Structure 1
Amino acid sequence: MRHFSALIASLLLCLSLSAMAQQVTYDGHEFDTEQQRKTYAELISELRCPKCQNQNIADSNAPLAADMRERAYEMVMAGESKQAVIDYMVARYGNFAHYKPPFNVFTAILWVAPVAIALIGIFLALRLSRKRSQPVTLSDEEKRRLAQLKAEGKDD
């Protein structure tokens, strides 16, 4: 009889564990499917906290980031696509809310400025190096003064 009750207890434990395993939990939220959890995890790592400025909303402790995480969770659970959630966050918080801003008129400076600065730096370095490689020519007066200074230096 003791073995029978232990067997029933083991079966009940296995059944409860399998029921719990079907419910996917992440970041304190429960998901119906693994795909929902994966989408949510990708979103909170790709979306940037507007208050913290250099942290994604997964790492930020700011109340605004918590609100963004909650909204992302609600939208994922409602069946919204990853892009729909990103579009919503960008519409609400601006292009800054996404770590991968699109190339448009407003973000062009972010994409073009580093390349332009690098090209200007290379151009200036080449130009300055060419000026230094040219021999220095002295006028007759400068040559006489140089000879005079050399002669004074030998006398000392």
Structure 2
Amino acid sequence: MALRPAFLASLVAVAMLWVTAQALAEAIEVRPFNDPVTERRYQDLTATLRCPKCENQAIGDSNSPIAADMRERVYEQLQGGRSDKEIVDFMVQRFGDYVLYNPRLEGRTVLLWGLPGALVVVGALSLWLLIRSRRRAQVGGLSAEEQARVDALINRERSE
């Protein structure tokens, strides 16, 4: 009788390991590469291209069907001898600029690239003008009568 619970526990453990192994086998894509340089290029490209369906996730990290399709296209084009630029250009043409984590500097993206710098300059200029105006207000802020009263109070404190 004591063997029965141990046997059932063993069966459950084996079943859990088998299910886990099947899930991992489906999640991991194994692609044959001719050399480690091409494999590294594949890894770099799949890490720098964004999945159009997922929010801020690279195609190499995404499990969505469109990301799998994009990885397949990258692999096929690498095997076809295309350069990284040609592959990225193909992906941009097919899926749009959204697939690039770092959009290219073009006429329509100048605002995207220039706005942060312009905001820093405007902020620094505003801060400088604010500080300058406050300093000017402090220097000439008292009337002659108020200045005389302040001087009298200071002199009275010194004499006591």
TM-score of the two chains, using structure 1 as the length reference: 0.66
Higher helix share: 2
Q: Please say if 1:118 is aligned against 2:120.
A: yes
Q: Where do 5+ consecutive residues of structure 2 fail to align?
A: 1-27, 147-160
Counterpart code for 1:47: L
Q: Distance in 2 between matches of 1:122 and 1:78?
A: 51
**How many positions carry a matched residue from both structures?**
116
Q: 2:36 aligns with which of 31, 34, 37?
A: 34
1:20-68 CA-partner distances (Å, limit 9, x unpaired): xxxxxx9411112222212211110111112224221111222221111
Q: Distance in 2 between matches of 1:40 and 1:27?
A: 12
How much has 1:137 moved relative to structure 2?
5.3
Q: Please say if 1:45 is aligned against 2:47.
A: yes
State the match for 1:105 in structure 2. Answer: 107
Q: 2:94 aligns with which of 78, 81, 92?
A: 92
1:114-134 CA-partner distances (Å, limit 9, x unpaired): 000000100111111112122
1:57-90 CA-partner distances (Å, limit 9, x unpaired): 1112222211111111111112222111101001
TM-score of the two chains, using structure 2 as the length reference: 0.64
RMSD: 2.2
Counterpart code for 1:107: T
Q: Distance in 1 between matches of 2:46 and 2:72?
A: 10
Q: Where do 5+ consecutive residues of structure 1 fail to align?
A: 1-25, 144-156
Query: Once the two structures are aligned, what percentage of the paired residues are identical?
Result: 37
State the match for 2:62 in structure 1. Answer: 60
